[in-house]
Structure 1
Amino acid sequence: MKNLILILFLSLFLGTASVFAQDIKAYQNYDFVAGDKIIFSDDFSDSQTGEFSTHWKLNGGQGVVNMAGDEKAFFITKYYTALSPRVKIPNYLPKEFTIEFDTWLDAAYDSNNGVIICFKNGDDCPVRITTNNSQWICENPEGRLTGELPKSVVGEDYFNKWHHVAIAVKGGQIKIYCDQYRVLVVPEVAFKATTIAVLGDASDGMNMMFKNFKLAAGGDMNLIGKAFTDGKYISHGINFDVNKSSIKPASMGEINAIAKILKDNPALKFEVGGHTDSDGDDASNMKLSEARANAVKNQLVALGIDANRLATKGYGETKPIAPNTTFEGKAENRRVEFVKM
């Protein structure tokens, strides 16, 4: 039965383009800023298809890594599925952190829940954030808050598409985004979460997936401003399509913040440097990193920044800031740096 389900998944998604419903222009007012220190990251690229992911622990239910279009994703395949990231530090959540991932929900679910993010403290789950077609939910010790996507997005315009989810936690405040929309703000939550888990209730033949999962410490626009005035900012929130220089739309929160800082400080000039991990050959990485640096410059110019204030350079894999021997280290090395000239 399991093999039959996997074949069904593969037949549904081979040849399906993994594109987002929205383009960069739709993100012009997006204000999510990702954390600047990677705690955990997994795009499932080094997990074997048809098997469980090497970077997660299965705490209940069932799941499997398979191809969804041209990228790997994690398929939640049973009710009451729960998994947690393999992080070496026992209680790894700082006071401020961000979570990002892409999610897909089959239209057959109708109004049922999608992926759930659980903020844990030991075995307890004091805060649960539920993604959904229409109503997004944050259950916490103070109560149950809900938010909604615009009516133009819900229903058939939501299902059977990839959507980007972003969650920012700062002190007791939680901001939750779906694509370019801020769907829910929880002003104050008294909780002391130390770890996270991903939950999902899936039925046979109904696809519930997630991919490109990233947990990072930080996520503060004010810190970006300080880093710029100090002379160097390292961005892990500007992301690109796999092996391409096209900027992912959800990167626009950070790019918008950088553009504002440059407009507020017209004397600042920066080199935009592209950096890769060690996967692939040196020449290709150098070329890719240069193309990505140019793409970031071009986007900032499109937002009104004078091109003469921005130089670009590709460094490839020549300047790692973390070991390329771990998945998190590689995620740290894939970055864009802004260095004052």
Structure 2
Amino acid sequence: MKSLLRLSVLLAIFLFAPQVSHGQFLKKLTKKAKAKIEQEAENRSEKRVNDKIDEEFDKAEDAIDGKEKDSTAKGSEQKGNQSGSTENGTETSDSQRQKGPNVVWSKFDFIPGDTVIFEDGPSIDEENGEFPSRWDLVKGQVEIANIDGENVMMFIDGNPTIVPYLKNSKEDYLPEVFTIEFDFYKPVNGNRISVSLFDDKNQKDAPSAMYMDIGSGRVAEKLAGVNGEMPGIDHTNSDDARWIHISIAFTKGKLKVYMDDTRLINIPHYSGNPSGLTLQAYWADLGEDKAFYFKNIRIAKGGVKYYDRVLSEGKIIVNGIKFDVNKATLKAESMGPINKIFQLMQKQPDLNFSVEGHTDSDGSETSNMTLSKARGKTVMDKLIEMGIAPNRLKSDGFGESKPIDNNSTPEGKANNRRVEFVKF
């Protein structure tokens, strides 16, 4: 995708560069890039090939601007970067940079809220073909379906629109610091979804709100009282069919929106007042294989910075580190909190952590104990892989034995499924 974005930029430059023979330049550039891709693909990973494409496009951009790169300066710059700072502002050693680290979503800086106030998987107890019990219908048709062994919400027909089913839904149920996360499946040639930061059934008179369109090759935000759109980054393709992870963070007027590992919207001072949540899929049609699917919806209340928590409580409780069901395999979106812990430990060299896993009460006590220990070790191993010295970390797990919330609600269970970083 990065290469495609670069190609779009280059094409725009060509249109305004009359001194260059457009056809000849494009033909040579395409031929050269293709040759390099084919050559590198045989013995290098996909990442290395993409890096090579980026390098060739960088050269082309410089040539168009009339700039010649000094190979000596470039070599010196690369050498300096081997032991310099990363884009996250963290120091890395030569050996660490040569090693990798092989971290998915390494630049993902989204941190989920501390306390879950709404959570829906949907549950395995939901009956297939029925309307999801934790939601209310605004219009259209939505049903529970099972895909690859897990329940999802299937948006079927008629611009289906739903809102969380909450007792206080007529009031502002979003705190001034909150996060929202969910996964949705965009079908081939599907239109788009809309995410509204107000309850479209119970808060129709919301004085100031916002909604975002996601899909059809773009992301756009629309603010109440403002005409027009503010386009984000092209990140989807109308021909793609895939699961997409959306993350929204709001902190006292500061709004950020992420699609997978890319931050698309960053508003430092948003004057509106988000008050609820509405999910809508445009022109969903099961008969034309254009049904949309949603899962893993979570609204959480935000909290204190990690370092402040360590100083005041001696530990950091994180429920944003997620794993595959009944496994110790990290999900990609877990890298936001893990990256923050990594940066904190680099800035505080005397800070050591015991990484401790905890589960809810589903399943047997024995299996939960085993699972929690494995999850604690997985997170510890990831931090070591990223460059933290092994003697600064240890791991453990306590299963369901130390709940911090009740296990009778989805939200309580979500809060109990956590990883704690305890100072030692």
Asked whether 1:82 is paired with 2:161, we answer: yes
Asked whether 1:30 is paired with 2:108, we answer: yes
Q: Please name the residue that 1:279 is paired with.
A: 362
Q: CA RMSD in A?
A: 1.9
Q: Please name the residue that 2:150 is paired with.
A: 71
Q: Please name the residue that 2:382 is paired with.
A: 299
Asked whether 1:249 is paired with 2:327, we answer: no
Shift of 1:137: 1.3
Q: Structure 1 residues 26, 297: closer, same or farther in 2, change over 3 A?
A: closer
Q: For each residue in 1:262-286, what CA deviation from the matched residue of structure 2 results, as whole angstroms up to 9, or x when unmatched?
A: 1111111111111111011111111
Separation (CA, whole Å) in 1 of partners of 2:194 and 2:184: 7
Q: Paired residues, what number?
A: 311
Structure with higher RCO (Cα < 8 A, 6+ apart) = 1
Length-normalised TM-score, structure 1:
0.86
**Which 5+ residue runs of structure 1 have no aligned equivalent?**
1-21
Q: Please name the residue that 2:423 is paired with.
A: 340
Separation (CA, whole Å) in 2 of partners of 1:115 and 1:287: 40
Shift of 1:115: 4.4
Separation (CA, whole Å) in 1 of partners of 2:137 and 2:237: 31
Separation (CA, whole Å) in 2 of partners of 1:296 and 1:233: 14
Asked if the contact 1:141/1:190 (under 8 Å) is kept, the reply is no
After the TM superposition, which of the residue ranges 210-219 and 249-258 deviates more from structure 2? 210-219
Asked if the contact 1:103/1:115 (under 8 Å) is kept, the reply is no
Q: Please name the residue that 1:310 is paired with.
A: 393
Instruction: Identify, as 1 or 2, the structure richer in helix.
Output: 2
Q: For each residue in 1:40-79, what CA deviation from the matched residue of structure 2 results, as whole angstroms up to 9, or x when unmatched?
A: 0111123111111121111221101111212211111122
Q: Please name the residue that 1:223 is paired with.
A: 305
Q: For each residue in 1:202-236, what CA deviation from the matched residue of structure 2 results, as whole angstroms up to 9, or x when unmatched?
A: 123312111011110116xx611211333111101
The aligned runs of 1:1-341 (5 Å cut-off) are 25-45=103-123, 46-90=125-169, 91-109=172-190, 112-120=191-199, 122-124=203-205, 126-141=209-224, 143=226, 144-150=229-235, 154-156=237-239, 159-201=240-282, 202-205=284-287, 206-218=290-302, 223-230=305-312, 231-341=314-424
After the TM superposition, which of the residue ranges 232-241 and 117-126 deviates more from structure 2? 117-126
**Which 5+ residue runs of structure 2 have no aligned equivalent?**
1-46, 48-101
Q: Secondary structure at the match of 2:277?
A: strand
Q: Secondary structure at the match of 2:180?
A: strand
Separation (CA, whole Å) in 2 of partners of 1:26 and 1:312: 21
Shift of 1:142: 5.2
Q: Secondary structure at the match of 1:162?
A: strand
Q: Secondary structure at the match of 1:27?
A: coil
Shift of 1:140: 0.7
Length-normalised TM-score, structure 2:
0.70
Q: Structure 1 residues 268, 25: closer, same or farther in 2, change over 3 A?
A: closer
Q: Structure 1 residues 293, 88: closer, same or farther in 2, change over 3 A?
A: farther
**Runs of 4+ residues over 6 Å off in structure 1:** none
Separation (CA, whole Å) in 2 of partners of 1:25 and 1:104: 24
Separation (CA, whole Å) in 2 of partners of 1:133 and 1:180: 18
**Percent of aligned pairs with the same residue?**
36
Looking at CA atoms only, which structure, 1 or 2, has the larger radius of gyration? Answer: 2
Instruction: Identify, as 1 or 2, the structure richer in strand.
Output: 1
Shift of 1:89: 3.9
